[in-house]
Chains A and B, each alone.
Chain A
Amino acid sequence: MARQKVAKRSEIAPGTTLRVVVDDCEILLCDVDGELHAIEDVCTHDGGPLDQGELEGRCVVCPRHGATFDVCTGEALTLPAVVPLMTFAVSVEGDDVYVDA
């Protein structure tokens, strides 16, 4: 999948997330202090989505077992997750959000 438009910037309020699916790839866009980050929306512990989890600063917490990930780097910060999340390059042009996946 090449770089493509996935969402409107105005859809993502400060400190919130937006789930988008592009070419079967589940992506979570996260607004951290006004900057967008894109991670795969699949918890590496149980394979479920993270979009119902809370975004606290730069960390997203899995709603099922509490695994915490750094959305900027993908790093798994607490058990039960041990494998990092995939991250994607994200850019904003006007009100359009592009992801390189």
Chain B
Amino acid sequence: MATKLDPSVSPQGLIEDYRHGFHDAENYVFKSGKGLTREIVERISSMKDEPAWMRDFRLKAYELFLSKPMPAWGDTARLAEIDFADLHYFVKSTDKTERSWDDVPEDIKRTFDRLGIPEAERKFLSGVSAQYESEVVYHNTSKALDDQGVLFCDMDTAVKKYPDILQKYFATVIPPGDNKFASLNSAVWSGGSFIYVPPGIEVAMPLQAYFRINAENMGQFERTLIIADKGAKVHYIEGCTAPKFSTSSLHSAVVELIAEEGASIRYTTIQNWYRNIFNLVTKRAIAQKNATVEWVDGNLGSRLTMKYPAIYLMGEGARGEILSMAFAGEGQHQDAGAKVIHVAPNTTSVVTNKSVSAHGGKTTYRGLVEIFPGAVGAKTHVRCDALIMDEESSSDTKPTMKIHEQRSTVEHEASVSKIGEDQLFYAMSRGLSEVDATAMIVNGFFDFFVKELPMEYAVELNRLVKMEMEGAVG
């Protein structure tokens, strides 16, 4: 299937090309009007029947959102395309969270089927919650998790059921005033996952959620909070694909991870947004003494992605790793990167970022490594490689290193390359077509990332990359 754009093709034709571009008829219990007002924020809170502290939190965040400027850095021209007055900020698709798969409404179930969450997977994974629109409609936590005392539910439920944990951790990693999009999320957030793993508990199976946007012009503002208490271990996986849209849509999530002493959290995400979506996400983690946090972050699609998963290494011996890949096709800008802040001694971090730009797409690596005074023995290794497929595509690398401790080790490697003619020639001399050879080389370039994924994601990602490459040659 060709994905290269021909100016003579109508936008509708393009939309039909998109693999996940199916679109169910909209059928909602409640959909807020366009634009954001104080009344809409209050309405969201009252519809969710939230306690006063959360309502006040939202209203304060709404004021911050109004007062904060748009970012003055990055792709400001594209950011200016966002029309906040033309978005819906809350859509509720059913009036209650479904407990059993059988009770999930047929049209929603159909959407999940087409996304390919197979029945076997539900049995295989220890917990599946699939977010459809703004609220989690299906949620199933296996008994094994309950027995271990692991809390895994949607954030709306957590606000009511676990107020003590929420008030202790919520918005301490990403305060509402952090940036304009964090303020917006704090004001109108809906859905997202909450996980709490008690001390010493290791969750053997990855926990998983599937996100999807359906309503036209709808912003999706999920909020995720994961806490691994002392010595606990958890792996969370989130995957995103979006159906077609005719106008721009905004996705602005906030994800907070807290790894207490000796704990370990891995957060894997693959996002494949349709090319008109703005994906502006704030992700940040805290790692206390001897804790480990790993972000595994894959970005495909979207009009503009701005995403810089961050890790604050707060305690001695904490370790952070950020693995990310980005693919920018026609009309897309993947502005992605990583931030690691070494606050304590003997902390270590590894950042590996690989990006491919094709068909006029643009990738930017924007990263920060900061080593605080006194973080003696801190070690960091940053590597970013960019592959540019054609003359129209481009790539920028903007690493920042702030080193305030001399007794630390900082390594940085970066490369920008074109696809090698000799590699292509070699592969084609072995009987591969140019398309297959190119796809193979690009998949090899992303191999470091794919091998960290669970099997089904790895298969899908390889397929997506190949599809993207089919339009790249000839």
Contact = CB atoms under 8 A, between A and B. Distances in A.
Contact-size category for A: 10 to 19
Contacts of B178: 65-66, 80
A49 interface: no
Contacts of B171: 78
Given A65-B178, A65-B179, A78 B172 contact: yes
Q: Is the interface of B mostly helix, strand, loop or mixed?
A: loop
A83 B64 CA distance: 24
Given A78-B171, A79-B286, A61 B312 contact: no
Interface string B349-379: 0000000000000000000000010000000
A79 B343 contact: no
Interface string B271-305: 00000000000001010000000000000000000
B174 interface: yes
Contacts of A15: none
Contacts of A63: 177
B72 to A, nearest CB: 12
A61 B286 CA distance: 20
Contacts of A79: 172-175, 284, 286, 312
A85 interface: no
Interface string B160-180: 000000000001111111110
A75 to B, nearest CB: 12
Interface of A: 61-68, 77-80, 82-83
The 7 A-B pairs at the shortest CB distance, nearest first, are namely: A66-B177, A66-B175, A78-B175, A78-B172, A66-B178, A82-B343, A65-B178
Given A78-B171, A80-B178, 20 more contacts: A61-B175, A61-B177, A62-B177, A63-B177, A65-B175, A65-B177, A66-B176, A66-B182, A67-B177, A68-B175, A77-B172, A78-B172, A78-B175, A79-B173, A79-B174, A79-B175, A79-B284, A79-B312, A82-B312, A82-B341
